[in-house]
Amino acid sequence: MSKPKVAFYWCASCGGCEEAVVDLAEEILQVVEAVEIAFWPVALDFKREDVERLADGELVATFINGAIRTSEQAEMAHLLRAKSQILIAFGSCSHTGGVPGLANLYDREEILRYVYEEAPSVINPQRVRPEERIEVDEGMLTLPSFWGAVQTLDQTVEVDYYLPGCPPPVGLIRSALQALLSGNLPPKGSVLAPDVALCAECPRKPTKPERLALKELKRPHQVLIDPETCLLAQGLLCLGPATRSGCGAACITGNMPCTGCLGPTSRVLDGGAKALSAVASILDATGEAEIERILEGIPDPVGLFYRYSLPASLLYRRVGNGERAREGRSS
């Protein structure tokens, strides 16, 4: 009997999700024994044609990490969707847009102009930019189209399950693979992580005051962090109250605040707004001047509250004149 076929693919992301698979260590050998890896171009010599030759639905599951920013990434997402029985958004970038999604604060022209003309390390007096199509002696060369906005995977194709995290914790990967191989999967559309806030599993939970009232917000580099006390109680912006659990409180165990990479629970419509609301509820300020003083401790609100989720949020992207917010391919 042939083994079930699975695939892994990398779109707009840093590659950490691919490394997280390898972090299974010797357990990855059990995965290799149980399945046939039919496509994993970052690790093995596969080509797009290998996927095209597969019958529709021949892949039992595909794990796609990374957001969608180019036409090639969208084409591969559609191709792998057609070939897969189950498609899993693997990691924060495919789940909610991730750090690449912060590019939605800028339009396409601003990004290209900075990268190819204005960046301090660039010397390009002719202002040359890559062309999507250019004819040379050897024939026509093409490049993918660079879209006007970053999209999540499920804004591009239908997604069956979500495995959150930046990168997904090894424990969640292990559980997802076990569920996949056993067929014991939750309803489609589920996020494969506990549906409770991180504070529920935080080792510092006993030190969190019943009522927090902060008159100052601090950044990690400004203070010597107490390794035992609730980070919020120390005035540090920990997003644990607005973030799904399942990571084992890894950052907090490392004496750093949660940054929200596992995304919100199912009861939250907009993760960034939830985090903003959670922080606003613990500020102890009585006047506008005091509020402004406290908020000076958040120099980059979008980068803090929407670090991993801008494309999945109600905001989605910054809109220029004459643009509509949901036109991901707009220039």
Judge if 33 and 120 occupy the same domain.
Answer: no
pLDDT tens-digit series, residues 115-161: 999 999 999 999 999 999 999 999 999 999 999 999 999 999 999 99
Judge if 19 and 51 occupy the same domain.
Answer: yes
Which residues is 245 bridged to in the sheet?
A: none
Judge if 87 and 233 occupy the same domain.
Answer: no
Q: How confident is the model at residue 302 (pLDDT cuts 50, 70, 90)?
A: very high
pLDDT value of position 329: 44
Q: Residue 326: is its pLDDT beyond 60?
A: no
User: How many separate domains does the chain show?
Assistant: 3
Judge if 91 and 36 occupy the same domain.
Answer: yes
Judge if 17 and 164 occupy the same domain.
Answer: yes
Judge if 40 and 178 occupy the same domain.
Answer: yes
Which residues is 141 bridged to in the sheet?
A: 134
Q: Tell me if 192 is assigned to some domain.
A: no
Q: Tell me if 249 is assigned to some domain.
A: yes
Q: Is 173 helix (H, G, I), strand (E, B) or coil?
A: helix
Judge if 286 and 301 occupy the same domain.
Answer: yes
Judge if 143 and 153 occupy the same domain.
Answer: no
Q: Tell me if 318 is assigned to some domain.
A: no
Q: Residue 327: is its pLDDT beyond 60?
A: no
Q: How confident is the model at residue 331 (pLDDT cuts 50, 70, 90)?
A: very low
Judge if 32 and 22 occupy the same domain.
Answer: yes
CA 227/CA 190 separation, integer angstroms? 34
Q: Residue 217: is its pLDDT beyond 60?
A: yes
What average pLDDT does the structure give for the chain?
Answer: 92
Please, which contacts does 208-215 make with residues 24 or more away whose CB atoms are closer than 8 Å?
208/232, 208/233, 209/233, 212/282, 213/282, 213/283, 213/284, 214/282, 214/283, 214/284, 214/294, 215/283, 215/284, 215/285, 215/290, 215/294
Q: Write out the residue range of the structural domain in which residue 46 sits.
A: 5-99+149-182
Q: Residue 328: is its pLDDT beyond 50?
A: no
Q: How confident is the model at residue 324 (pLDDT cuts 50, 70, 90)?
A: low
Average pLDDT over residues 266-290: 92
Judge if 118 and 221 occupy the same domain.
Answer: no
Q: Tell me if 173 is assigned to some domain.
A: yes
The domain that contains 167 carries what CATH number? 3.40.50.700
Q: Residue 205: is its pLDDT beyond 80?
A: yes
pTM: 0.92
Judge if 202 and 153 occupy the same domain.
Answer: no
Judge if 69 and 170 occupy the same domain.
Answer: yes
Distance in angstroms between the alpha carbons of the first and the last residue of the chain? 50
